[in-house]
Structure 1
Amino acid sequence: MREERSYVIVVACFAAGLYLAVLVAAFGVISLATDTEVIPDPAAGPLVGPIMVAVAVGVFLVLLILTGIRVPGEQQRIAPLNALGAGLACYLAYCLSGGVAGALATGDALRFALFAVSRFASLYAIAVAVVAFLIMLLYQLVLVGRFRQRGRPRWPWERPDDE
């Protein structure tokens, strides 16, 4: 059981790193394709965007670990609704954290409440949700494959049942 947990946590950390990398790439592609800024409000300051992404990645990492640890290894399966929930949670965390971070930085709560609401319809927030959904599915696929295989991959000549 301890080996399963450590494996789940390590794979979750790598999946969260992949999530961050794909988000940065997706934001760059969306920004170039639409000729828009990720954070269109210059009064928001330089830290609101990174805080929004950091909160989304943090929520995603926690969900990855909980998804992997909650179910024993032999019962792991691919759960699309779980992945959809992770995408929705990251979407909400991304949008709402922008409003909170901006309001704390400037003290203008109403303006940044409207900023958070405007983020709900942005392509960037939708990308946060879609990428979280896809990477959660891949994470579950890796866990299912590992636990069904029972151990490290083996070459055909290493399998004891062939003898």
Structure 2
Amino acid sequence: MREDRNYATVVAFFASFLYLAILVAAFGLISLYSNIEVIDVADAGPLVGPVMVGCATVAVLVSLVVRGRSVPADEQRIAPLAALLIGVIAYVVFVLSGGIAYAIGGDEPLGFLTFSFHMFASWFSLATGIAAAVVAFVYQLVLVGRFQQKGRPRWPWERDDEDKE
């Protein structure tokens, strides 16, 4: 049981790094094809974007660890709604953390609201949520595949040797 939870945690870390890589690539491609900046607010500062991506990545990591460790290995199933929920969490955290970071660095009293509303409709925010949902779904596939096998994948001749013993 403990080994299964540790495995779920390690895979969650790898999935979070995958999520970060997908975000960087998606933001670059969206920016390149649409010819807009990720943060197109002039007075946002250089740290708002990295703070947003970092908070979304941490939210995905925590969500995956909680999901992977809370469900016992023999009850692991693919839950598309859970993956969608993780995507929504990442989307909301991305937007709200950006609003908070913008409000801390800005002089506008309503900076949080204006920046957050501006980012809610952004393609980059949508990419954040979609990427999180896809990564969460793949994470569940990996866990279900591993736990149904009861260990590492084995070649057919390895299984025959174990059955004879």
Partner of 1:46 in structure 2?
Answer: 46
TM-score by length of 1: 0.97
Deviation at 1:155, TM superposition (A): 1.5
Unaligned segments of structure 2, at least 5 residues = none
Q: Deviations over 1:65-123 (max 9, x none)?
A: 01101110011000000011000000000001111011111242312320111100000
The answer on 1:152 being equivalent to 2:152 is yes
Partner of 1:161 in structure 2?
Answer: 163
The answer on 1:93 being equivalent to 2:115 is no
Written as runs of structure 1 = structure 2, the 5 A alignment for 1:76-87 is 76-87=76-87
Q: How many residues align?
A: 163
SS at match of 1:43: coil
Query: Which has the larger displacement, 130-139 or 109-118?
Result: 109-118
Unaligned segments of structure 1, at least 5 residues = none
C-alpha distance in structure 1 between counterparts of 2:20 and 2:118, whole Å: 22
The answer on 1:62 being equivalent to 2:62 is yes
Change (3 A) 1:109 1:78: farther
Written as runs of structure 1 = structure 2, the 5 A alignment for 1:132-143 is 132-143=132-143
The answer on 1:74 being equivalent to 2:46 is no
The answer on 1:123 being equivalent to 2:135 is no
TM-score by length of 2: 0.95
C-alpha distance in structure 1 between counterparts of 2:53 and 2:150, whole Å: 35
Q: CA RMSD in A?
A: 1.2
After the TM superposition, list the runs of 4 or more consecutive aligned residues in structure 1 that deviate by more than 6 angstroms. Answer: none
